[in-house]
């Protein structure tokens, strides 16, 4: 762990030590207020950043390593999520939602992802991925109307990778196939193929849809 990450991890307690040091100097009559003001200032900045920014920078390494238990432990160290700066809070709930999805706790995942979606995201790509996940969950529940709305919104916001784009276009293709709007279905199918996905599940789904798409009018 590099020095900056150590500071983030122990920022709250270090800030208290700095403030206590300033108080100690004053109470011992070794300094008046202004010479120790920088200590109070640094302590205040540290405490505020602990509550308003949190430790989310620390999740990058364990996420890349696939250590979701460590990611969850870091997120659980956030005492008051409602105090987090809005874009940080949105990211916080997105990650919480993704963890819940990994655990197949879809109700909790939907709750967290909706919370993140309502907050908005500083990055359109993250917003697009979030809306796509909500759309897929709605589709799994049989709520095609809500699923279509979320997936359309995800496409508009921008989806960060080709695999996810292919999933979004295939989902729209199937929605329009069910509506018997075959021209739109074919258009979305072409877009899905153009993404050239490599994930086996997505490739198999494209092959399955391709069996029927050529027989459709329009």
Mean pLDDT of 69-93: 94
Residue 147 lies in a domain: no
Whole-prediction pTM: 0.78
The rounded mean pLDDT for the chain is 90
* pLDDT per position as a tens digit, 100-134: 988 889 899 999 999 999 988 766 667 888 999 99
| End position of a domain, from candidates 138, 170, 186 | 138
- Which residue, 189, 202, 215, is CA-closest to 161? 202
| Cα gap 138→29, rounded to integer Å | 65
Count the neighbouring beta carbons within 10 Å of the beta carbon of residue 39.
Answer: 21
Residue 7 lies in a domain: yes
Length of the chain: 218
What's the number of domains the chain is made of?
3
Mean pLDDT of 180-201: 93
**Do 97 and 113 meet the contact criterion of CB atoms below 8 Å apart?**
yes
Output the pLDDT for position 127: 84
Question: Are 34 and 64 within one domain?
Answer: no
**Top-confidence residue, 82 or 122:** 82
| Cα gap 108→113, rounded to integer Å | 9
* pLDDT per position as a tens digit, 131-188: 999 999 999 888 999 999 999 999 998 888 899 999 999 999 999 999 999 999 999 9
pLDDT above 70: residue 59: yes
**Which range marks the domain in which residue 32 is found?**
1-52
Confidence of residue 60 (pLDDT cuts 50, 70, 90): confident
Residue 155 lies in a domain: no
DSSP state of 214: T
Question: Are 74 and 120 within one domain?
Answer: yes
Count the neighbouring beta carbons within 10 Å of the beta carbon of residue 148.
Answer: 18
Residue 146 lies in a domain: no
Output the pLDDT for position 124: 61
């Amino acid at each position: 762990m590099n020095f900056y990450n150590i500071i983030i991890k122990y920022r709250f307690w270090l800030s208290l030590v700095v403030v206590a040091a300033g108080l100690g100097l004053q109470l011992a009559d070794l300094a008046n207020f202004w010479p120790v003001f920088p200590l109070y200032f640094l302590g205040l900045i540290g405490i505020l950043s602990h509550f308003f920014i949190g430790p989310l920078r620390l999740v990058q390494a364990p996420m890349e390593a696939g250590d979701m238990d460590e990611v969850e432990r870091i997120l659980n160290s956030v005492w008051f999520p409602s105090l987090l700066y809005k874009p940080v809070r949105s990211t916080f709930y997105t990650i919480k939602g993704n963890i819940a999805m990994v655990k197949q706790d879809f109700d909790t995942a939907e709750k967290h992802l909706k919370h993140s979606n309502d907050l908005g995201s500083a990055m359109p790509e993250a917003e697009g991925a979030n809306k796509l996940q909500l759309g897929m969950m709605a589709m799994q529940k049989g709520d095609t109307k809500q699923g279509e709305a979320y997936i359309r919104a995800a496409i508009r916001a921008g989806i960060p990778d080709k695999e996810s784009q292919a999933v979004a276009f295939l989902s729209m293709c199937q929605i329009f196939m069910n509506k018997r709007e075959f021209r739109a279905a074919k258009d979305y199918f072409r877009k899905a193929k153009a993404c050239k996905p490599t994930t086996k599940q997505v490739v198999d789904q494209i092959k399955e849809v391709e069996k029927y798409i050529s027989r459709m009018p329009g």
